[in-house]
Amino acid sequence: MAPRTPYILLSFANPLTVPAEYLKFLNREATNISGHLEKFVLEDHFDVQRLPNATTEDLFNTVEQWQAHKDLLLFHFGGHASGPVLMLNTEEGDTKIANGQGLARLLGSIPSLKLVFLNACDTEESVPLLLEAGVKAIIATDAPVQDAMALDFADRFYQNLANHQDIRTSFDRASMYLETKYHLKTSPPTSSGVYFETMMRKQQEEAATYRRIRPEKPEKEEKVIPWGLYYAEGHEKVLQWKIPNFSRQRADKEQKRRRSTALIGVIGAVLATVITLAVWRPWVAPTLDLTLSFYQDSTLTQFIETGTVDIQYGEAPEAAFSLQNGQLTLKDIPQEFSETELSIKPHFEGFSDRLQRLQIPSGGGALALFVPPLVYQTIVKGTLKNPQGQALAGATILYAGDTTETNTLGDFQFSLPFPEGTTKRMRVIYQQTEIYNGVEAIFPEISLTVDLQP
Per-residue pLDDT reduced to its tens digit, 359-380: 888 888 888 888 888 777 788 8
What's residue 412's pLDDT? 93
Are 205 and 215 spatial neighbours (Cβ–Cβ below 8 Å)?
no
What's residue 209's pLDDT? 54
What's residue 248's pLDDT? 47
What's residue 205's pLDDT? 39
Most confident segment among 184-188, 318-322, 373-377: 318-322
Amino acid of residue 445? E
- How are beta strands 115-119 and 137-141 bridged, if at all? parallel
| pLDDT surpassing 70 at residue 210 | no
What's residue 284's pLDDT? 52
- The DSSP result for 16-62, as a single string, is TT-GGG--TTHHHHHHHHHHHHHHHHHTTS-EEEEETT-BHHHHHHH
Q: Which of 190-204, 303-317, 321-335, 397-411 has the lowest mean pLDDT?
A: 190-204
Contacts of 397 (CB under 8 A, 6+ apart): 384, 403, 404, 405, 406, 412, 426, 427, 428, 429
Give dist(CA 65, CA 56) in Å, integer: 14
pTM: 0.52
End-to-end alpha-carbon separation of the chain, Å?
A: 60
Are 105 and 63 spatial neighbours (Cβ–Cβ below 8 Å)?
no
| pLDDT surpassing 70 at residue 120 | yes
Are 241 and 154 spatial neighbours (Cβ–Cβ below 8 Å)?
no
Average pLDDT taken over every residue of the chain? 82
What's residue 204's pLDDT? 35
What's residue 198's pLDDT? 38
What's residue 168's pLDDT? 94
What's residue 74's pLDDT? 96
Percent of the chain with pLDDT over 90: 35
327-334, strands of its sheet edge to edge: 327-334, 287-295, 365-370
What's residue 189's pLDDT? 35
What's residue 357's pLDDT? 86
The average pLDDT across 159-168 equals 94
Tens-place pLDDT, residues 70-106? 899 999 999 999 888 899 988 877 788 888 889 999 9
| pLDDT surpassing 60 at residue 341 | yes
* DSSP secondary structure letter of residue 13: -
What's residue 255's pLDDT? 63
Give dist(CA 289, CA 367) in Å, integer: 11
Give dist(CA 64, CA 369) in Å, integer: 36
| pLDDT surpassing 90 at residue 165 | yes
CB atoms within 10 A of CB 83: 19
CB atoms within 10 A of CB 302: 10
What's residue 201's pLDDT? 38
What's residue 195's pLDDT? 35
Give dist(CA 130, CA 300) in Å, integer: 56
85-89, strands of its sheet edge to edge: 81-82, 85-89, 95-99
93 backbone dihedrals φ, ψ, rounded to 5°: 90, 0
Tens-place pLDDT, residues 247-275? 544 545 556 666 666 667 667 666 666 55
Tens-place pLDDT, residues 279-298? 544 445 688 899 999 998 87
- The DSSP result for 95-162, as a single string, is EEEEEHHHHHHHHHT-TT--EEEEESTT-TTHHHHHHHHT--EEEEESS---HHHHHHHHHHHHHHHH
